[in-house]
């Protein structure tokens, strides 16, 4: 594995660049990069070139975080002006403005699990609705278990096939045990398309299947079987379908409120506040309370767990479905600036953390254990992100370097010194369509620049 420097955009902003996030590709657009700066703007970039596509205004103080919805159509920015601005990526039109008390809006992350409601009106006039839980794109395993799980024990069929295939193979929904043994059960059609679907029947026996393009993490087609077609797997009426902007959650590190705030993206209403409790044995005090300032937040791959990092070096783990605090993870001695869960399905309980103490920690969030501690930076570690294939992480530091770490070796394999000031954010982009093991990495810095690298 290596990082090959590609391009650097000097003076990408008028002041320090504090945050960066990738916008997933859509049918109309390739993956794009969002950046936020102390100059109060958010800018959108096409890495080809690179080319600045637009400059978004609306904040009156520096932008501390940007995040993109898994659909690639909406994004959000948070500022130290205590506002979160939600906007349409293509048009820059404001969708919602979320307000919080001073110092209570910091890092943002959308739930990677985009719940889509698919509705199809069949010939009988019945509207069939099916909820499909999509998985984040992964490459060694497509996460079939997560897609098919809603069908288990419901006497339905799982159908996998190609976009243009006239006949699709049929399987009875596998058991939970079978899915645990084999999560690579996706089929390549003659067109090279990977598809996973789940079937629902209406009372007239028409069949509707939601077909998920897991290789791109999107839901592209709803297929309807010809009435009276029986069980021969002949599908007609390919209906284009795209992910709705509804059905997921935006999480914001709550800063001085010592909490994580959750907003529903359908109505943009605050739905929950996950409060960070004090460590056992500590007495309430003004000093200890201030140290619970929450700086960072991350979602697990399945969207069921949230981790947040605090000024006192602790990490708090929450069960989102029950809005319940689970436990603390300890080990850091200074603020935890950045968190990210592993992108590998078999390692989905693994969490990476970056801290001002100069270390990157690797935790087992379920076992509540510190797996390893990576050291080498000569300053604060300000950002960490994991590669799409789950085999490497990248970090950015106040020592002005970007480092690539091999997780098997548990060591830095490459140090890049292109920036002239501290590196606030590193972000891996989605995998290449031609080579799923390669992607772009972006880094942003106090030197006002953006650097792009090819990871392979």
- Say if CB 109 and CB 300 are below 8 A apart: no
Residues 260 and 281 in one domain: yes
Comparison of pLDDT for 93 and 290, the residue scoring more: 93
Both 152 and 296 in one domain: the answer is: no
Strand partners, 208: 200, 224
Strand partners, 199: 209
Based on the fold, state whether residues 234 and 296 are members of the same structural domain.
Answer: no
The label of the residue with tokens 């419901």 reads 154
- 11-25, 163-177, 252-266, 327-341: segment of lowest average pLDDT: 163-177
> What's the confidence (pLDDT) of residue 186?
32
pLDDT digits (tens, 9 = 90+) for 48-98: 989 999 999 989 999 999 999 988 889 999 999 999 999 999 999 999 999
Q: Do 33 and 80 belong to one domain?
A: yes
pLDDT tens profile 432-451: 877 767 899 999 999 999 99
pLDDT tens column, 156-166: 223 333 222 22
* Same domain assignment for residues 369 and 406: yes
Identify whether the C-beta of residue 359 lies closer than 8 Å to the C-beta of residue 337: no
* Mean pLDDT of all residues in 165-179: 33
d(CA 107, CA 227): 50
Q: Mark whether 108 and 125 lie in a shared domain.
A: no
Residue 430 belongs to domain spanning: 3-113+245-455
> So what's the pLDDT on residue 167?
28
* Confidence label for 358 from pLDDT (cuts 50, 70 and 90): very high
**377, β-bridge pairs:** none
Q: Own/partner pairs for 284-287, CB < 8 Å, 24+ apart?
A: none
Same domain, 412 and 285: yes
3 state SS of 345: helix
| CA distance from start to end of the chain | 5
Q: Report the alpha-carbon distance of residue 253 to residue 240 in Å, rounded.
A: 36
Q: What is the CA radius of gyration of the chain?
A: 22
Instruction: Show which of 214, 240, 266 is a domain's final residue.
Output: 240
Q: Mean pLDDT in the chain?
A: 74
Q: Does the bond joining 179 to the residue before it have cis omega, within 30 degrees of 0? A: no
As a whole number of angstroms, the distance between CA 311 and CA 315 comes to 9
Place of tokens 């003659």: 190
Length of the chain: 456
Indicate if the pLDDT at residue 148 is higher than 60: no
- Sign of the CA dihedral running 106, 109, 115, 116: positive
Q: Under a CB-based contact definition with an 8 Å cutoff, are residues 105 and 310 in contact?
A: no
| Token digits of residue 68 | 């993109």
- Cα angle vertex 429, ends 164, 272, to 5°? 95
Q: How many CB atoms lie within 10 A of CB 333?
A: 12
Tell me the two tokens of residue 422: 């501290």
Please, which pLDDT band fits residue 294 given cuts at 50, 70 and 90? very high
What percent of the chain has a predicted confidence (pLDDT) above 90?
A: 53
Please state the domain count of the chain.
Answer: 2
Whole-number pLDDT of residue 282: 53
Co-location of 232 and 251 in the same domain: no
Q: Which of 2, 38, 42 is nearest to 23 (CA)?
A: 42
User: Do 442 and 304 share a structural domain?
Assistant: yes
What are 126's two structure tokens?
Answer: 């019945």
278 and 284 in contact (C-beta within 8 Å)? yes
Q: Return d(Cα 368, Cα 85) in angstroms, integer.
A: 35
- Residue-level pLDDT at 212: 38
User: What distance in Å separates the CA atoms of residue 146 and residue 142, rounded to the nearest whole number?
Assistant: 9
The tally of CA atoms less than 13 A away on the side-chain side of residue 310 is: 26
Residue 213 in this model has a pLDDT that exceeds 70: no
Strands, sheet with 259-264, edge to edge from the N-terminal-most edge strand:
108-110, 249-253, 259-264, 269-275
If asked whether residues 57 and 104 sit together in one domain, one would say: yes
CA 25 to chain centre: 13
Supply angle C-alpha 283, 310, 446, rounded to 5: 145
CATH number for position 407 = 2.130.10.10
Looking at 213, 240, 267, the residue that finishes a domain is 240
Structure tokens belonging to residue 284? 């309430």
Q: Which residue, of 240, 256, 285, is where some domain finishes? A: 240
Supply the pTM of this predicted model.
0.73
Lowest mean pLDDT among 73-77, 108-112, 216-220, 255-259: 216-220
Q: How many Å separate Cα 184 from the centre of its chain?
A: 21
Residue of 181 and 442 predicted with greater confidence: 442
The reply to whether 75 and 124 lie within a common domain is no
Higher-confidence residue: 193 or 61? 61
Q: What is the share, in percent, of the chain residues with pLDDT greater than 70? A: 68
Determine whether 324 is exposed, middle or buried from the number of CB atoms within 10 Å of its CB (0-12, 13-18, 19+): exposed
Which uninterrupted H or E stretch holds 354? strand 350-355
129 & 205 share domain: yes
């Amino acid at each position: 594995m290596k990082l090959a420097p590609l391009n650097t955009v000097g003076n990408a902003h008028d002041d320090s660049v504090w945050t960066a996030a990738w916008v997933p590709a859509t049918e109309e657009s390739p993956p794009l990069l969002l950046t936020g700066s102390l100059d109060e703007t958010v800018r959108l970039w096409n890495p080809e070139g690179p080319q600045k596509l637009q400059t978004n205004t609306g904040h009156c103080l520096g932008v501390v975080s940007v995040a993109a919805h898994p659909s690639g159509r909406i994004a959000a920015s948070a500022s130290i002006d205590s506002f979160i601005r939600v906007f349409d990526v293509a048009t820059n039109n404001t969708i919602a403005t979320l307000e919080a008390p001073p110092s209570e809006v910091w890092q943002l992350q959308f739930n990677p699990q985009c719940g889509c409601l698919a509705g199809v009106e069949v010939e009988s006039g019945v509207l069939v609705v099916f909820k499909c839980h999509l998985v984040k794109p992964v490459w060694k395993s497509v996460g079939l278990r997560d897609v098919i799980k809603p069908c288990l024990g419901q006497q339905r069929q799982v159908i996998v096939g190609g976009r243009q295939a006239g006949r699709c193979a049929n399987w009875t929904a596998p058991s939970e045990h079978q899915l645990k043994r084999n999560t690579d059960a996706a089929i390549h059609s003659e067109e090279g398309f990977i598809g996973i679907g789940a079937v629902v029947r209406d009372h007239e026996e028409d069949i509707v299947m939601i077909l998920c393009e897991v290789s791109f993490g999107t839901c592209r087609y709803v297929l309807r079987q010809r009435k009276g077609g029986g069980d021969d797997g002949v599908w007609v009426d390919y209906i284009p379908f795209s992910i709705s902007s509804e059905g997921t959650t935006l999480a914001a590190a709550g800063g001085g409120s010592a909490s994580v705030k959750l907003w529903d993206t359908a109505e943009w209403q605050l739905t929950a506040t996950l409060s960070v409790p004090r460590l056992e044995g500590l007495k309430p005090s003004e000093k200890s309370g201030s140290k619970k300032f929450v700086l960072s937040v991350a979602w697990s791959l399945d969207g069921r767990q949230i981790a947040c990092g605090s000024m006192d070096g602790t990490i708090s783990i929450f069960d989102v479905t029950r809005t319940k605090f689970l436990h603390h993870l300890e080990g850091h001695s200074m603020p935890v600036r950045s968190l990210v869960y592993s992108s590998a399905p078999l390692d989905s309980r693994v969490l990476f953390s970056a801290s001002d103490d100069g270390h990157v920690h690797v935790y087992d969030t379920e076992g509540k254990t510190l797996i390893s501690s990576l050291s080498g930076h000569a300053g604060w570690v300000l950002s960490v992100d994991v590669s799409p294939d789950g085999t490497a992480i990248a970090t950015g530091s106040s020592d002005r370097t970007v480092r690539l770490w091999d997780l098997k070796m548990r060591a830095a394999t490459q140090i890049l010194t292109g920036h002239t000031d501290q590196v606030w954010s590193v972000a891996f982009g989605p995998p290449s369509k031609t080579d799923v093991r390669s992607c772009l990495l972006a880094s942003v810095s106090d030197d006002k620049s953006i650097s792009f690298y090819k990871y392979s």
